[in-house]
Amino acid sequence: MKGFMRIDNVPVIAIDGPSASGKGTVAQRVAEKLGFHYLDSGALYRLVALAAMRSGVDLSNENTLSDVAAQLDVVFEGADIRFQSENVTSAIRTEACSNAASRIAAYPKVRTALLARQREFRQIPGLVADGRDMGSVVFPDAVLKIFLTASAETRAQRRLKQLMEKGIDANIATLLQDIRDRDARDSNRTVAPLQQGTDTNLLDTTSLNIAEAVDSVLKQYAGVCAKKHL
């Protein structure tokens, strides 16, 4: 059929990286520039964490958590995220939810339960996906894989600024320790650990602003398109 494109031929830009590296903002803006769909994979794990905490589920019970993941009643509406019809866009961004999500993401059964749902976001004309295993596990055939990072100190400062803008009190020393702890958990988990793959391009944003990081990704994608005639 003329004009038909197989799903596995739909281009994907995978942007992975540690907590507070800015990958979400960069990925979302790249998607907007290209007119692509956007997947915030971390939001799915945060939603599992939120649902579990609200239901009183033990965060060490992998089987129950995987059931929660499989039954998530979630709808993505632009920048808003609705869980059971409630707008939880802000609720899933708390530090408590973030830390719980990091613990939950280490469970193989939870990751398996969310895998198919993440892949459903791959739709014409293309997808920009951010997370920690987008290029290694979820979309291993992504046309461009970016590992976006920054120093732990820079990431802690960025997180502090975000929280202050929301009127939330925070301590830089505590944030820095939380980031280092989460880096250790994400990098050392047995399933889909956070790491830069051999086919992944490193983008260190320690000395870059958002616009510069977005421009770098767009230029790299343009280079890929020129080679593959996408």
Q: Which residues line the annotated binding site?
A: 17-25
- Residues annotated as binding site for ATP? 17-25
Burial of 79 (0-12, 13-18, 19+ CB in 10 A): exposed
CA distances from 77 to 83, 123, 137 (A): 11, 16, 25
Burial of 209 (0-12, 13-18, 19+ CB in 10 A): exposed
CB 127 within 8 A of CB 13: yes
Measured over the CA atoms of residue 94, residue 184, residue 217 and residue 159, the dihedral's sign is positive
d(CA 154, CA 176): 9
d(CA 147, CA 120): 22
Kindly report whether the peptide bond that precedes residue 140 is cis, defined as omega within 30 degrees of 0.
Answer: no
